[in-house]
Structure 1
Amino acid sequence: MSRRAYFESEESMAYQSGEDIMHTLTSIAGRYIGANPPHPPVYRVSRSGPVRKCDDHRYSFPLGVLFPDMGKGQQVYAWAKLWSDSDQEFTFHVTCYGPLRLYHNGIGVFGSAPDEEYPAMPLLKLKCGLVKGWNHFVLEFSLGERGLGGQFGTGSRKNKPLHFIVPSLEREGQEGWLYTEPLDAPLQEIPSGPLGEKATGVSWLPREEKPAAVAPFGQLARMYGLCSGMSAYAWAKINGSHCGREPVVFSGEAFSPVEFSVNGKLVFRQEQAGTFRFELQLSAVSHNLTANCMCGEQDWGFQLDPIAYKLLTPAQEIKGYSGKWLYLGPFQRGQEINLAACQTMRQTTRSGTGEEVYWRTELPGGEVRPFLENEWFGRWNYPLGVTLYGLLQLGKAGQRSDIRDYVLNHIEFATSRFSYSLWDRARYGAAGLNNQLSHIDSLDDCGSFGATMLLADRERKLEGVTQTAAHIADYILHKQDRLEDGTLYRKVGVSRTMDNTMWCDDLYMSIPFLCRYAEWSGDDKLLDEAARQVLLYKKYLYIPERQIMSHVFDVERGAPTRTPWGRGNGWVLFSLSELLTVLSQEHPSFTDILQFYRELCAGYLELQGRNGLWHQVLTDPQSYEETSCTSMFIYSYARGARLGWFMNPEPYIQAVRLGWKGLTRHAIDKQGNVYGVCRGSSYSFSNQYYKHELGWNLNDTHGIGIVLLAGLETLSMHEWQASTSTHAAEMIGTPGKMGNGSV
């Protein structure tokens, strides 16, 4: 890869704002936050039917079970749509139980071969050119010699856990797929855009029945059946525009005993079925209206008169549902529940039958689910752990409560829904949010973001942190795979080629969390474990003649790759600086870890490039200048100089100055865009993979946060130098304080 500049020098942050570090940092933060506004989750109608997600977020179509009598020559079709923000090439994964054809926007893009039509075959990777907007997908299944059905969906459950949307006009906004019964003839036309279901010429499952067409009449009887001794809640909102000077009147018919409450306060009770009417004097704002219905002998539920119904707005906007009421239950009559907490839409609650339940609609099988449809805000993954760490520290150092609160709200978006996401995954096969936190199977899934979560919890007590932190600690300490000597490693990787490997990245995915959880929980033994892991990783990955690290140790080969990837080395030094900050000098491993830190710092110092930046392959100056490793080295050097970890700090102080100047001149433009951040990696025994195949992304979250942290540590180093110089000058001017005038 050529060493072409990322942008013209006149477009650089340094050209625009000079040496103003805080201006640079707030520009980067402002661009990031502006591009990722704090949208809430999207709520959709979803059904827990036979077509559901697997753990890897692909949808499973068990058609052999659904249609055991399907014959040769028949077809089953499944139809859904997917939104894309841009024209892009995307990889899907498919497993064929039998013959399968895939259509994208009406055009056939895949047809299985006989040797691919077997459930035990490895999944197939299909590249598809998505268009901006809605993309319609149709799967055509036939009965083969070995089976029927298949699995289809996202090619990356970690980063792109996509969910498909029901495509017909009648069910616009619902999550999931429509599918047909076995058809004797192929569809005359493959659906390729918005259509009513009748216009396709066939009937689609699951059937969409009209609620009023199903007996008995009361909506709660239809949803829950007749449950003697049970109750359930209905929730809507009163539109504030109808309130104010005149009382609002609610009237209708109750099919069983009912109580109405406004904002949690009981306002009307009726002990038997029959018509009802009550008036309320309310202020001109939105109000929660809840009805607690008790099951009668023959029916239960209620219905408002049309005029009263018009006073309401939906309790929560639910895609795929035009009604205004949401329902929760059933409960034992008199059972106490925290209804206000349930109305935050963040948690389930235990029903009267002992099951956890969540809000639903009155549509048959129409349950409500939250989905994370933001690109970054609210998401939980390891690069965002560092991004939010940088933003949080900037918000504090710059006294920017808006930045601080953005971070806290992002983290609480995830932690407050942690318990719900575990339930959602168990019920639907894969969670609609918290996809990594609810399904931890690697250090990537938990440690980095978890470490920032614990810092954030110091700023403001965040809902769900205690349970989430304990879950992460249990995983790292008791569930993550280890070698016989206790070293953390990846027995099972994201792909087969990553199985049985040890990555230097995983020091950052574990060490900062262990350090902060030790302080948070008061258990110093976690620091012992953190120190032990650092020295074990040194045993496997250190390259002593260069004083740098191999990226990966291949356990099956029993050998390190000896590939000096920049960010991998950055993770190591970053982690050491986090550990040394909290490790007591009296700790038995402190001296060894400090010496390891100094050796690495010396090795990296020899490899700093002429522009002040380090390279993607540290030992190859022809590889591109990489921003995230540069920032980690700057951060760790500046902190080490300030905290006295170097015998001679001056060369490292100069490296920090040169490195930060290089970032603002060559990697950060005047709009606050961050260039040259290597994308997420696989690994190789060859440097050529890192140099030629592993390119960089603009504004990649692997780099934004650490650039912010590097700038903040550089500022702290400058302040430390200034205060040290001032103190030295004062000492020189005070008789008897400094005999030889040296600092």
Structure 2
Amino acid sequence: MKTTMLAASIAVVLGCTLACGTALAQGGHYRNTDNKNLNDHSEGTYPVPYKKPVVAEVTSQLKSIRAYMDSATPTRIISKKTGDQITDLKTPNADAIFEPSKGDYGIQVYEMGVVHSGLLKAAEATGDKGFTAMSQRHFQFFSQTLPYFRAQEQKFRLDRANSFARFLDPHSLDDSGSMCAALIRARLAKVGPDLKPMIDTCSDWVINKQFRLEDGTMARKRPQEVSLWGDDMYMSIPLLAEMGRLTGDRKHFDDAVNNVMGMSKRLFNTQNGLYTHGWHANHPDAPRFYWARANGWAVLAMSDLLDVLPKDHPGYEPVLNQLRASIKGIAELQSGTGLWHQMLDRNDSYLETSASAMFTYVIAHAVNQGWISPTTYGSIAQAGWVGLSTRITAKGEVEGTCVGTTLASDMVYYYNRPTSVHALHGYGPMLLAGAEIIKLLNNPAFEIQHKVRTYHYVPKGVKTDYNKHQQ
């Protein structure tokens, strides 16, 4: 009894939920409880709870994140001056704003788009429609308040001070792509009201107004006059893919594939299988910095595209091959905790949560979709979740996420970006990762064998020659 209480107490300190249920050895390291003989001298200890995840535990962790997000994101209009709620939605008020969220989790920012996509995936994986209740609340709020804030803008010309500025007059891919993709997914899943006016505005920006290179690749005019950001693969490609699915117009699929190829041609290093964070047209041979989250955005974008891209599209195989090459490069750099480093090729940089969650999701999803081998990659995805589970607090906060980060030109900046539980970038990817791990654990195409103190994802019907002494 005392040992169990001690284990639970230490688990909380380490940021693991109490659902971990894993015994701890001396020095604060975990023993694998799937190994029945804990006195086995051939069995080591681990810095994370190395074991096969349990669906009920993963579901509980996802529910804690959902509950935290739900409590931290109010949907009310208040006076910026007084803080009082504004209920009159007929008379525009120049002082009216969205009530700020607890922890600065903006309800229309691109990171929240990933949260909604993660909630949709969690509802699908668990069968619990309660996961989408927050999305329904947010989207109903948007539907009710869009006319009010449009009238506010017309009367007072607040421009970027208007709480609805991103969807009244978007200025960037960050304003539009990620959240718009989530709105389309919710619309097709019949979650919340139909937000066609928001979808039309933000998709128009991405498709028709965003600055591009001559070959159609999405680009920015910062920090240099013509630059590419790896981040923008996610800020544009999933939206284009979802527009193709929504409208049936193949030109959007063509555009999405073209952007995968255009970005990859300039950002992807075929030697190490990684994306550099950025590229500058006037300085294409600049040093390359392999920031983890940029790689996360890249593989997440390709994965999302393949989910809806028709298999007879000429771009399907090139995109799939690019994703496979990226997954291989990323997988080879997983740390001994299951997480990945802030700078992927620098193991003296800190272990970062949001990118690790994206990698875990994409690898697990690729296994579940049959894009990559479960034998090769199943245990890598499992190990990723094992590490991520220690980053979820008892309150449902997600720890260890790098805050917002620009495209920089020196390593010192990337190494020293702070982490915070208020960095929204970690919450959506964590929901995605947990949901996909549940699907991985339930996947009928293979069995997860615990042999020689580790895990093997073996396709059904495949026989191995482990004997009865190799348990």
- Tell me the distance in 2 between the aligned counterparts of 1:27 and 1:687: 35
State the one-letter code of the partner of 2:190: R
| Alignment partner, residue 703 of structure 1 | 426
Alignment partner for residue 581 of structure 1, among 295, 298, 307?
A: 307
Q: Does structure 2 retain, via aligned residues, the 8 Å contact 1:548–1:564?
A: yes
| Alignment partner, residue 668 of structure 1 | 392
| Alignment partner, residue 248 of structure 2 | 522
SS in 2 for 1:678: coil
Alignment partner for residue 68 of structure 2, among 15, 23, 31?
A: 31
The offset of 1:519, in angstroms, is 1.4
1:438 aligns with 2:164: no
1:677 aligns with 2:407: no
The offset of 1:650, in angstroms, is 1.9
Residue deviations 1:569-617, cap 9 Å, x none? 0000011111111122221111211111111111011110111100100
Q: Does structure 2 retain, via aligned residues, the 8 Å contact 1:518–1:524?
A: yes
- Tell me the distance in 2 between the aligned counterparts of 1:479 and 1:739: 52
The offset of 1:561, in angstroms, is 4.6
The offset of 1:688, in angstroms, is 2.1
Distance 1:651 1:438, change over 3 A: same
Residue deviations 1:29-84, cap 9 Å, x none? 11222233x34212x5xxxxxxxxxxxxxxxxxxxxxxxxxxxxxxxxxxxxxxxx
In structure 2, stretches of 5+ residues that fail to align are 1-8, 21-52, 449-459, 465-471
Map residues 597-608 of structure 1 onto 2, 5 A cutoff.
Answer: 597-608=323-334
1:502 aligns with 2:225: no
State the one-letter code of the partner of 1:658: A
State the one-letter code of the partner of 1:611: T
Alignment partner for residue 343 of structure 2, among 593, 617, 633?
A: 617
- Tell me the distance in 1 between the aligned counterparts of 2:302 and 2:246: 19
**More moved, 392-401 vs 443-452:** 392-401
Q: Does structure 1 retain, via aligned residues, the 8 Å contact 2:94–2:152?
A: no
1:649 aligns with 2:379: no
Q: Could you say which structure has the higher strand fraction?
A: 1
| Alignment partner, residue 316 of structure 2 | 590
The offset of 1:501, in angstroms, is 1.7
Distance 1:474 1:684, change over 3 A: same
| Alignment partner, residue 178 of structure 1 | none
SS in 2 for 1:677: coil
The offset of 1:477, in angstroms, is 1.3
Residue deviations 1:385-431, cap 9 Å, x none? 11122123323433444431221221232244335434422432225
- Tell me the distance in 1 between the aligned counterparts of 2:12 and 2:96: 45
Alignment partner for residue 40 of structure 1, among 54, 57, 76?
A: 76
Higher Rg of the two aligned structures? 1
Map residues 544-583 of structure 1 onto 2, 5 A cutoff.
Answer: 544-559=270-285, 561-583=287-309
- Tell me the distance in 2 between the aligned counterparts of 1:657 and 1:562: 30
Distance 1:557 1:723, change over 3 A: closer
Distance 1:478 1:616, change over 3 A: same
Q: Does structure 1 retain, via aligned residues, the 8 Å contact 2:291–2:414?
A: yes
- Tell me the distance in 2 between the aligned counterparts of 1:8 and 1:532: 49
Root-mean-square deviation over aligned CA pairs? 2.7
The offset of 1:500, in angstroms, is 2.6
Distance 1:606 1:417, change over 3 A: same
- Tell me the distance in 1 between the aligned counterparts of 2:86 and 2:318: 57
SS in 2 for 1:702: helix
Q: Does structure 1 retain, via aligned residues, the 8 Å contact 2:105–2:424?
A: no
State the one-letter code of the partner of 1:34: S
Alignment partner for residue 18 of structure 2, among 16, 19, 29?
A: 16
| Alignment partner, residue 468 of structure 2 | none
- Tell me the distance in 1 between the aligned counterparts of 2:140 and 2:220: 29
| Alignment partner, residue 229 of structure 1 | none
Map residues 263-662 of structure 1 onto 2, 5 A cutoff.
Answer: 318=86, 345=89, 358-359=90-91, 370-375=96-101, 379-430=107-158, 431-460=161-190, 462-463=192-193, 465-491=195-221, 493=222, 497=223, 499-559=225-285, 561-646=287-372, 648-662=373-387
Number of aligned positions between the proteins: 406
Q: Does structure 2 retain, via aligned residues, the 8 Å contact 1:552–1:560?
A: no
Q: Does structure 1 retain, via aligned residues, the 8 Å contact 2:273–2:329?
A: yes
SS in 2 for 1:697: coil
TM-score, normalised relative to structure 2: 0.79
Q: Does structure 1 retain, via aligned residues, the 8 Å contact 2:401–2:419?
A: yes
In structure 1, stretches of 5+ residues that fail to align are 1-6, 45-162, 166-171, 175-316, 320-325, 327-344, 346-357, 361-366, 727-737
Residue deviations 1:606-637, cap 9 Å, x none? 11011110010001111110001101111111
- Tell me the distance in 2 between the aligned counterparts of 1:639 and 1:689: 32
State the one-letter code of the partner of 1:428: F
Distance 1:639 1:416, change over 3 A: same
| Alignment partner, residue 49 of structure 1 | none
Runs of 4 or more above 6 Å deviation: 738-742
SS in 1 for 2:351: coil
Distance 1:461 1:625, change over 3 A: closer
Q: Does structure 2 retain, via aligned residues, the 8 Å contact 1:13–1:671?
A: no
- Tell me the distance in 1 between the aligned counterparts of 2:367 and 2:129: 29
Residue deviations 1:308-364, cap 9 Å, x none? xxxxxxxxx659xxxxxx7xxxxxxxxxxxxxxxxxx2xxxxxxxxxxxx526xxxx
Q: Could you say which structure has the higher helix fraction?
A: 2
- Tell me the distance in 2 between the aligned counterparts of 1:719 and 1:469: 34
Q: Does structure 2 retain, via aligned residues, the 8 Å contact 1:379–1:434?
A: no
Distance 1:601 1:401, change over 3 A: closer
Distance 1:461 1:392, change over 3 A: closer
Q: Does structure 2 retain, via aligned residues, the 8 Å contact 1:12–1:664?
A: no
The offset of 1:9, in angstroms, is 4.2
TM-score, normalised relative to structure 1: 0.51
The offset of 1:369, in angstroms, is 6.1
Q: Which has the higher contact order (CA 8 A, sep 6+)?
A: 2
Residue deviations 1:143-173, cap 9 Å, x none? xxxxxxxxxxxxxxxxxxxx5x3xxxxxx67
